[in-house]
Structure 1
Amino acid sequence: MALNVLASTFSFAVAQHYCGEDLVDFSFFGKAESCGMDMQQPSDSHQHKLQKKQCCDDETLSVQGNGDLLLSVENLSVGEHQFLVAFTYSYINLFEGLQENIVSVVHYPPPLLVKDIQILDQTFLI
């Protein structure tokens, strides 16, 4: 169940660089590197009107996680606050140890051994 919650809230992005129709590079953590064939912007103002079609293309695939699972303490009602405080107090006190170690078999002596049971049953610890 925890893996399901983690998978539903996880978001990521993949950057891809295509040269023509071939995938040249992809990156999970940053921008994909160029193949070096990108067209440079012309310096002449006359050539701005005549631009050629670029052969390279950058695409970004992004998947957004579910952000609805984030809870805010300000949105809780009074009854929910009381339940949260009572649950926390009882959970913390659940693990407190006893003040003294109570052993109930101190007053009862062990039975006397009439015969050695291990030798009779031939069970030996190795």
Structure 2
Amino acid sequence: MTLLVLVSTMSFSIDKHFCGEHLVDVSIFGNAQPCAMEVALEAKYGSEHSKKSECCSNENIVIEGQDELKVQLDQLDTKTITFFKTFTFSYVDLFEEFESDFVTNDGYPPPLITIDYQVLYDQYLI
């Protein structure tokens, strides 16, 4: 959701350089590099001649971002908020690890036997 808001509010431009009918270079956020033919014409005749030449052309597309964002909190009701809270809680619990070797009486030793009644009454299991 954050990425969608970021992309929709950001303005950027796409610059394309064509040599004849062939696309030579595409650039986002900057100027496209000229082709070798345009560079050679600029070196030989100067920059004014290459601007008049019909061989190469540049196309610039500007994509304007959204300037106004409206957060609509009036459409959220208690049922929707409750659903989001429970969904988030249950989703977070999916990735929580549980201890498999959980011992309940770890800190409590067994009571000491003061009198051994089996020996006292001679009652043994055979």
Normalising by structure 2, we get a TM-score of 0.42
